[in-house]
Structure formats: structure tokens, C-alpha cells
Amino acid sequence: MTSMTDPRDAPQNRGGGILAAAWLLLIALFAGMGAWVFAITRDAPEPSRPRDVPTATLTLPAAKPQPAPAVIPQAKPVQAAPILTSVQPVPVPPPVALLTAPPPAPALPGAPLAPVEPGLLRDSAYGPIPRLSADRKRAPWQVYAAPFEAPDAKPRIAVVVTGLGLARDVTERAIALLPPQISLSFSPYAAETPNAVIAARQRGHEALLDLALEPENYPRIDPGPATLIGAFSGADNVARLDWVLARAQGTIGVVAQYGPSFGASAMAMAPIAQALRERGLMYVDNQASKYPAMLRLARDFAVPWAFANAAITPGISDEATALVATLHSLEKASTVQRSMLALVPVSPVAIQTIAAWAKTVEPRGFALAPVSAIASRQDEWDAGRK
């Protein structure tokens, strides 16, 4: 009996052998390609590495050392002006050296005025200020006045030069070239004022201080931080007055500057009149107001006073001609009114003109008088008739 193979043992699909053969052929192909690549690259030179590129180094020159910035010198602590409602204190200028020698051809000096007496000073928040003597019988305006002798019937003409101290050379010229009968008024803001007052008194000049009253268009026009202001209280304004008075010792009073409304107000001026009385000082009115209140208050408070019959405007053209004409007009008026006063802002032209005019006054029958010599001698009804 012939054996036969079971059909179930025969392969079901011949495609499986063909696929296996294809995979073997593909593997062999890849292996051959790998061998070929290895063969052609084995002896190839190794790629060179890129060379390092030198980097440029910039060395900046060392900076030259710079000098330290200059330090602005600080002012030494000083006594400030009274701190009031809306105005800053006034810086007090540092002391300065004594004035240099006067210029050539000085006027013949008068005798030095009386030395400052401690008994006529009292302490204040701003420094020593004048006062009446303890027995109230001696006042600084009389003690420090320049000597004066002239017959009562002789017309008296006084000139006060104002604004000194702000320009050192002009101040020195005024002190040296003007005769001692010319009174001098100093700015409270000038660094020169303390020593300039000493120098002036040594040559026989009476010394006063400029006192600014609130001007029109204030504060657009502002004379300085110690200006007396109408809106301030009487105590505040008296404090400002004391600051001004503390700037120099040996003065006889104050000269009003500006102030048409303030000077006309009895309410504003009454505390100032009382303070001047207690300090024993004279008040010189510039007649900025036509009817100065101080001339009425002076009777009530017994304040010595004088008012300007003429006040020269600063910076006018042809100053010398205008000043000579003004002085001659005062001479003419003095034959009737007997005591006349001119206020003249300091300038080189004013100094030269007044010095020349002063040499001719006495020979023509007039008495050149310091301002204290006409205190309370003018007719107050003449106020306003400048």
C-alpha cells in the first residue's frame, strides 16, 4: 500500500518564502553600500579645523583726573530778619574790613561824633538797637547829632545823601569829599554799612538808615525783605524796623523810602512812631505821600521829624544841572520857610555837584546844616509843596 502525504501538511502560501528572500537581498545590498563608503573615505584627509581668528583689543588711554568742582562758600550763620507772614528773612551781610583810605582832595573833616554809648543800646532779636537813656532824658538822635551853630534867623538848608553802602568806592568818595554838614543815610542791606557808618561818624557826618515803606505795585516793585507792609500787623512792622536799626550803631534816625500809601496811613505809621519815640530816633519823610501821616503823629508821640522839600529822582538825565537847579530853588524858598531839606540818592555826579555847591552856601548867607539841626523846625503846612 502506497503511503500518501496529508494535504493539510503542505504549505498554504508560497508567497511567504519569496518575501523572506527579498529581505535578505535588501540587507545584503545595504551592507555592500556601507563597505563601499568605508573604502572610499578611509584614506581621505581629516578636515582641517578652522584657525582661530585673533580678536582686536582696544585699550583706551587712562582718563586724566579732573579737578573737583569748586565748592561755593557758604555764608556764615547770621541773624535773620523777622520771619513774618509771607516774606523771607533778610540775610545779614558778613562783616567787612574797614574802608580803605579816602580818595585825594578830601573835604575838611569835622570832629568825630560822640562814641556809641552802651547805655543808649538795648538787646533785640536782631542785635543791639537804640533806646532812650534809663532816665528818658537823653535820646540817641541828640547825643549822636553833629554840632551846629548858626543864628536862628539864618536860613538853614540840609542835604541828606541816601543809599550809601551799596557801592564801596562811591561810599568812600561821599564820606571823604562831602563836608561834614552833609548827613548820610545808609542801606540796611549793604555789607559795607556797619563799617561805613563808623567811618562817616569819624569824619563828622551824621548817619541815618534807609527805611523802605511799601511802594505802589508791591510786590512787583520790592525794595527788600525788611520793607514795612500795610497788610502786616504793627508788631511785625516794628520787628522789621528793629532789624534795620540793628545794622549799625550810632545812627540818629531813619529816612523813608517809597511808601505813598503806607506813609499816608495813620494806622500803619502809628506803631512806627511809637517805636521811634522809645528808641529816641528822628524820622525823615521823603514826601512820597502828599500829606505824610508821621507829621501829624509826631506831635502825639514827640518824635523829631523833617520832611523833604525836594527829593531828586535817581537816574535822571543831566543830573548835575537838575541838582544845581533844585538846590538853588531851596535857597530861594528858605528865605521864607527858613528850614529846607533835599534828599539826594548817592552817585558820583551827585557827590561832585553837592561838594562844589556846598563851598558857596555860607558866603551867600545860608547855613548848611545837618539834618538834626532842622528837626521839627519846618512848617508842617508846607508838607506837600515840594
For 86-101, give the DSSP string: S-PPPPPPPP-PPP-P
Strand ranges, E, within the chain: 121-122, 129-130, 156-164, 183-186, 207-213, 253-258, 282-285, 305-307, 310-311, 339-345, 367-369
Coil, strand or helix: which one is 55? coil
The answer to whether 331 and 157 have CB atoms below 8 angstroms apart is yes
d(CA 94, CA 377): 39
Long-range contacts of residues 93-99, Cβ cutoff 8 Å, at least 24 apart: 93/189, 93/190, 93/191, 93/193, 94/191, 95/191, 95/194, 95/195, 96/191, 96/192, 96/194, 96/195, 97/195, 98/195, 98/198, 98/199, 99/168, 99/171, 99/172, 99/175, 99/192, 99/195, 99/196, 99/199
Long-range contacts of residues 28-37, Cβ cutoff 8 Å, at least 24 apart: none
At residue 315, what is the residue type? G
Strand partners, 367: 156
Beta-sheet pairing, 129-130 with 121-122: antiparallel
State residue 181's pLDDT score: 97
DSSP type of residue 336:
H
Please name each of the domains of the chain with its CATH number.
120-381 (3.20.20.370)
CB atoms within 10 A of CB 168: 16
Report the phi/psi class of residue 315: left, alpha or beta, with left for phi > 0 and alpha for psi in -120 to 50: left
State residue 109's pLDDT score: 78
At residue 75, what is the residue type? A
State residue 317's pLDDT score: 81
State residue 13's pLDDT score: 47
Coil, strand or helix: which one is 369? strand
d(CA 293, CA 296): 5
DSSP string of 170-204, one letter each residue: HHHHHHHHS-TTSEEEE-TT-TTHHHHHHHHHHTT
State residue 45's pLDDT score: 46
DSSP type of residue 150:
-
Q: pLDDT 10s per residue in the chain (386 long)?
A: 444 444 344 444 444 555 655 566 666 666 666 555 455 445 544 444 434 433 333 333 343 443 333 332 333 333 545 544 443 444 434 433 333 334 435 677 789 999 999 999 999 999 999 999 999 999 999 999 999 998 888 999 999 999 999 999 999 999 999 999 999 999 999 999 999 999 999 999 999 999 999 999 899 999 999 999 999 999 999 999 999 999 999 999 999 999 999 999 999 999 999 999 999 999 999 999 888 999 899 989 999 999 999 988 877 888 999 999 999 999 999 989 899 999 999 999 999 999 999 999 999 999 999 999 999 999 766 665 54
Q: Give the tens place of pLDDT for each residue, 75-124.
A: 333 354 554 444 344 443 443 333 333 443 567 778 999 999 999 999 99
The answer to whether 356 and 324 have CB atoms below 8 angstroms apart is no
DSSP type of residue 218:
T
What is the pTM assigned to this prediction?
0.73
State residue 313's pLDDT score: 83
